[in-house]
Amino acid sequence: MSKKTEKRILFVCLGNICRSPLAKGIMQTYLERDGLEDYIKVDSAGILNCHQGELPDPRMRAHAIKRGYNLLSRSRQVKSDDFDDFDLILGMDDRNIDALKELAPSPEAQQKIHRMADFCQRIPVDCVPDPYFGGASGFENVLDILEDACKGLLEYLKNNPKG
């Protein structure tokens, strides 16, 4: 990947306290491992604003830290300006994707929206399921899926530096 390349990626879920902060934490870890953190920037946001300013959910943080991801981001709501500031906007499920399409300020902006699960290579899923109202296995499942998707996303970015 060219040293000049800079790509900005926004992960989006419903509350920005479980799935998208984890996606950001995993991806940041992989980028730092591969020395790409200056060229690919990541952030996360939520469709809702009801957790504004909060740390990620304590359950999500507890499961993530066991795999080495210390999640310290603060929840914020996605905004239409994000479509100017980011190159790729990745939704965790179809509900997120529909809300993002409504928010997109133009057809060109809509093209930036993709499904995170489409980057999975090992686990065959079509969404990253919402763990909020479930138990521990749901959080572990989200970790498994997002580690797989982040690996696939990183490979995609390395192979398509201009894409």
Site residues (CB under 6 A) for ligand 4NP? 13-19, 46, 50, 130, 132
Q: Are 48 and 14 in contact (CB under 8 A)?
A: yes
- Select the residue whose beta carbon is closest to ligand 4NP and give its number: 15
Q: Which amino acids are annotated catalytic? A: 13, 19, 130
The nearer residue to ligand 4NP, 28 or 96, going by C-beta atoms, is: 96
> What token pair was written down for 26?
């995993």
| Burial class (CB within 10 angstroms; exposed 0-12, middle 13-18, buried 19+) of 63 | buried
Q: Report the nearest approach of ligand 4NP to the CB of residue 17 (Å).
A: 4
Q: How far is the CB of 21 from ligand 4NP (least distance, A)?
A: 7
Q: Return d(Cα 5, Cα 7) in angstroms, integer.
A: 7
Which C-beta is closer to ligand 4NP: that of 83 or that of 139? Answer: 139
